[in-house]
């Protein structure tokens, strides 16, 4: 019986993924919507590949099926939860966008240190940016590293006689990062009214570095609480499994009667709500 149910589940999931694959272009954003121009990244958007999209749905569907089967001990009831897996890529996309911005901020700090060093030996800002790009290409092996792509765009715009202020302002607008936006505004002020660019670059790099350090320290402080939260999230499922094994007769009414299933549904909703609330509490932004 169990083997038959597993086979039916795999066939069902395979058919669902086949339909999603055929309708992928209708279900998701246009594949070029994360670009403002050719090769320019829009940090406010991320378009998943078909493989990514299906992988996240497949993983979520399996997890939801397992959770549903633990709570209801009924194959078809557990199967009803799997369609909700299509929601998961949306949340995963937000997580990827946030991580990409943090990655860019960390790399931007390194770029600021490099530019500041070049300015301190008397080089112009334009030359300092080119030198920093060369240093970063040595530091990061991957040419698709975010900061390398961005400084390459800045250098190309400089070659087309755009100003540094315009190029950095464009990056600030796309990244949606306050630190880069503040740097862009200070750079504009220095260019117009005159100012110490070396000090500005050094201060910017130091400020970003302190922010990243504080964020890491904060994450270490709440790491134990996050671990406790994960343990508490697993506990209800472990308890149900244990009782289902050692006290099968005691748990049978919960899985076979209407009232029992209503109680389990209420419990399931409360657990999901608790997980969402706890995750928001732990999500502290600097």
Q: Mean pLDDT for each consecutive 10-residue tract of the chain (286 residues)? A: 54 57 44 50 84 87 88 86 89 90 88 85 88 91 89 91 90 88 84 75 79 79 80 87 86 88 91 85 68
Domain boundaries, the chain: 101-213
Per-residue model confidence (pLDDT) at position 278: 81
Measured between alpha carbons, how far is 111 from 131 in angstroms, rounded to an integer? 10
Strand partners, 41: 35
What pLDDT shows up at residue 152?
Answer: 93
DSSP 28: S
* φ and ψ at residue 198, rounded to 5 degrees: -60, -45
CA gap 202, 126 in Å, rounded: 16
Query: What pLDDT was estimated at residue 212?
Result: 77
| 88-120 vs 146-159: helix crossing angle, rounded to 10 | 60
Residue 3: its pLDDT value, please?
A: 53
Give strand pairing partners of 35: 41
Whole-number pLDDT of residue 28: 40
């Amino acid at each position: 019986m169990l083997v038959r149910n597993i086979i039916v589940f795999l066939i069902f999931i395979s058919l669902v993924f086949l339909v999603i694959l055929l309708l992928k272009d209708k279900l998701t954003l246009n594949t070029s919507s994360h670009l403002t121009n050719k090769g320019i990244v829009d940090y406010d958007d991320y378009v998943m590949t078909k493989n990514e999209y299906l992988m996240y749905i497949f993983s979520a569907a399996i997890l939801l099926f397992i959770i549903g089967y633990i709570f209801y001990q009924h194959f078809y009831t557990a199967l009803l939860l799997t369609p909700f897996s299509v929601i998961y890529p949306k949340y995963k996309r937000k997580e990827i966008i946030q991580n990409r911005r943090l990655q860019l901020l960390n790399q931007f700090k390194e770029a600021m240190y490099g530019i500041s060093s070049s300015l301190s030996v008397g080089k112009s800002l334009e030359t300092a940016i080119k030198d920093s790009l060369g240093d970063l290409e040595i530091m990061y092996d991957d040419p698709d590293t975010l900061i390398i792509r961005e400084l390459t765009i800045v250098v190309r715009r400089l070659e087309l006689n755009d100003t540094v202020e315009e190029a950095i302002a464009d990056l600030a607008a796309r990244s949606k990062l306050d630190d880069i936006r503040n740097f862009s505004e200070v750079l504009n002020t220095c260019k117009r009214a005159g100012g110490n660019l070396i000090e500005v670059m050094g201060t910017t790099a130091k400020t970003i570095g302190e922010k990243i350090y504080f964020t890491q320290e904060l994450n270490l402080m709440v790491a134990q609480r996050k671990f406790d939260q994960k343990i508490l999230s697993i506990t209800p499922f472990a308890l149900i499994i244990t009782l289902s094994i050692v006290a099968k007769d005691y748990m049978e009414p919960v899985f076979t009667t209407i009232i029992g299933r209503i109680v389990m549904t209420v419990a399931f909703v409360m657990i999901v709500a608790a997980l969402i609330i706890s995750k928001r509490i732990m999500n502290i932004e600097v």
